[in-house]
Chain A
């Protein structure tokens, strides 16, 4: 079954609570309606009551059965502010001011278990969504870098089933350090585990295969690989590999003579920097005719995602279903 359809089925099997902090946008109201009507989720819209009503009216949808909250009027503010500033020297008044912001209130709902996932970005920049995610939901265990991935569905010759890949990081970290690259690899393997049917096999990509070239950029990739192995020895990860060594068995057999559980059969491709990642996903999309779904954020303690400003209602529903499927696996 198509991986996206499988996410819809998973979301439908166990409809989670999704918080949509941009309830003033008609597309968000329409997406919430569709998520509820299709049995995919229990949507929660945040914003001022009159503006949410106006957005729903503009979208031509009813809000019956959809929860709405005005963060500024919520009785949860004190609890969320306390949790927000826990272990920090932040003033209570500033914490209260922060959690009144819908994006932060939504993040605290996820952090406190009052929602399973958060999807935003039609009215907020990616950097703002990431910032809210870091300060509310926080990073996943052992991770200190927010990153992003694309789910790439690559057509196979002869028209068989599409091959799914995770590509990362294609949207957030411009020139990751070895430590950040290790975080990206671990988060990407986790994203793959929650979305793909096959176990993640993660390749750390470079212009060099197993020392075929000597350069600081290739050494950064091998340093990241060592860090991942130290932090997570059970992960199926290998490198540094050129792209063909990572995904073509015949090339892997020649270039990776010592054998590898990843070479030639990688389904998670970790690029050394944003130039490589962004160019690779666009070339795969346009030259190979692959579907590029995303970008999704990763590295957080619970799945949250960003939307493009131009996202359609269908984009918002699909992103939500994928986040809910990930949240279901987490839970």
Chain B
């Protein structure tokens, strides 16, 4: 599992107050992890802080699951912190 995936799960666990070890690679935030859709914007803010990136909010809010978040963030990190 990638470092990005581990850190994404850690952020999700802290924000949603759940156990990181219970989070699966393809879990969906709302349906599988019990997130309220209203929290998604705070989850995005937590990812921005953890990875020191700016995320396009509408694109980010279209991400519905852990694997999608990992891809989205890895791309943003590569673009905003090349090398």
Q: Which residues of A contact B (CB under 8 A)?
A: 89-91, 93-94, 97-98, 125, 127-128, 131-132, 134-135
Interface residues in B, total, Cβ within 8 A? 15
Verify if B31 is at the interface (C-beta below 8 Å from A): no
**A interface, by DSSP: helix, strand, loop or mixed?**
helix
B57 — nearest CB in chain A belongs to which residue?
Answer: A128
Q: Is B3 an interface residue (CB 8 A)?
A: no
Known: A94-B45, A94-B46. A89 touches B17 (CB 8 A): yes
The main secondary structure of chain B at its interface with chain A is helix
Q: CB-CB contacts of B24-44 with A at 8 A, as 1s and 0s?
A: 000000000000011011100
The answer to whether the Cβ of B56 comes within 8 Å of any Cβ in the partner chain is no
Asked if residues A98 and B41 are in contact (CB atoms below 8 Å), the reply is yes
Select the residue from B14, B15, B45, B57 with max chain A CB neighbours within 10 A.
Answer: B45
Q: Does B18 contact A (CB under 8 A)?
A: no
Q: Is there an interface contact between B38 and A135, defined as CB atoms closer than 8 Å? A: yes
Cα separation A143 to B13 with both chains bound (whole Å) = 29
Residues in chain B near residue A127, CB distance under 8 A: 61
Residues of A within 8 A of B45 (CB): 94, 97-98
Of B17, B42, B58, chain A has the most CB atoms within 10 Å of the CB of: B42
Please name 16 further chain A to chain B contacts, defined as beta carbons within 8 Å, in addition to the given A89-B17, A91-B46, sorted by A numbering. A90-B42, A91-B14, A94-B15, A94-B42, A94-B45, A98-B42, A98-B45, A128-B41, A131-B37, A131-B40, A131-B41, A132-B41, A134-B38, A135-B38, A135-B41, A135-B42
